[in-house]
Amino acid sequence: NAGVTQTPKFQVLKTGQSMTLQCAQDMNHNSMYWYRQDPGMGLRLIYYSASEGTTDKGEVPNGYNVSRLNKREFSLRLESAAPSQTSVYFCASNGRGFYEQYFGPGTRLTVT
């Protein structure tokens, strides 16, 4: 099993550009999450999907959209990137009734 995979690993964008971060898990997990991690702050939840077909806002959803394409895949889109979105983005998943989360390797995004 690959666990949770994310692409790309690194990305540099100019202000106003758009991009999609991809996440996939092969553990048949119901719930998937997108977090951002900034220096001096804990991981903050952007969006989550409790099951296929549902998505909900987390703590910091502004400037982002998500799609739960199927049970395996959960993508995060930045429509018009801003320097404030420079961060490391992590995708995670967990199974029903299990609170332990499995994390992807992260995407380091820089917006100039």
86 binds other proteins (CB under 8 A): no
47 binds other proteins (CB under 8 A): no
Tokens of 102: 């499995």
Nearer to other proteins, 16 or 105 (CB): 105
Q: How far is the CB of 80 from other proteins (least distance, A)?
A: 26
Q: Which of 19, 17, 30, 13 is nearest to 75 (CA)?
A: 19
Q: Rule CB under 8 A: choose which of 24, 25, 48, 93 binds other proteins.
A: 48
Q: How far is the CB of 37 from other proteins (least distance, A)?
A: 9
Q: How far is the CB of 78 from other proteins (least distance, A)?
A: 20
Q: Which of 84, 64, 77 is nearest to 22 (CA)?
A: 77
DSSP state of 63: T
78, β-bridge pairs = 19, 64
Nearer to other proteins, 14 or 97 (CB): 97
Q: How far is the CB of 72 from other proteins (least distance, A)?
A: 19
Q: Do 46 and 35 form a contact (C-beta atoms < 8 A)?
A: yes
Residue-wise over 87-97: b if at least 16 C-beta within 10 A, else e? Answer: bebbbbbbeee
Nearer to other proteins, 10 or 14 (CB): 10
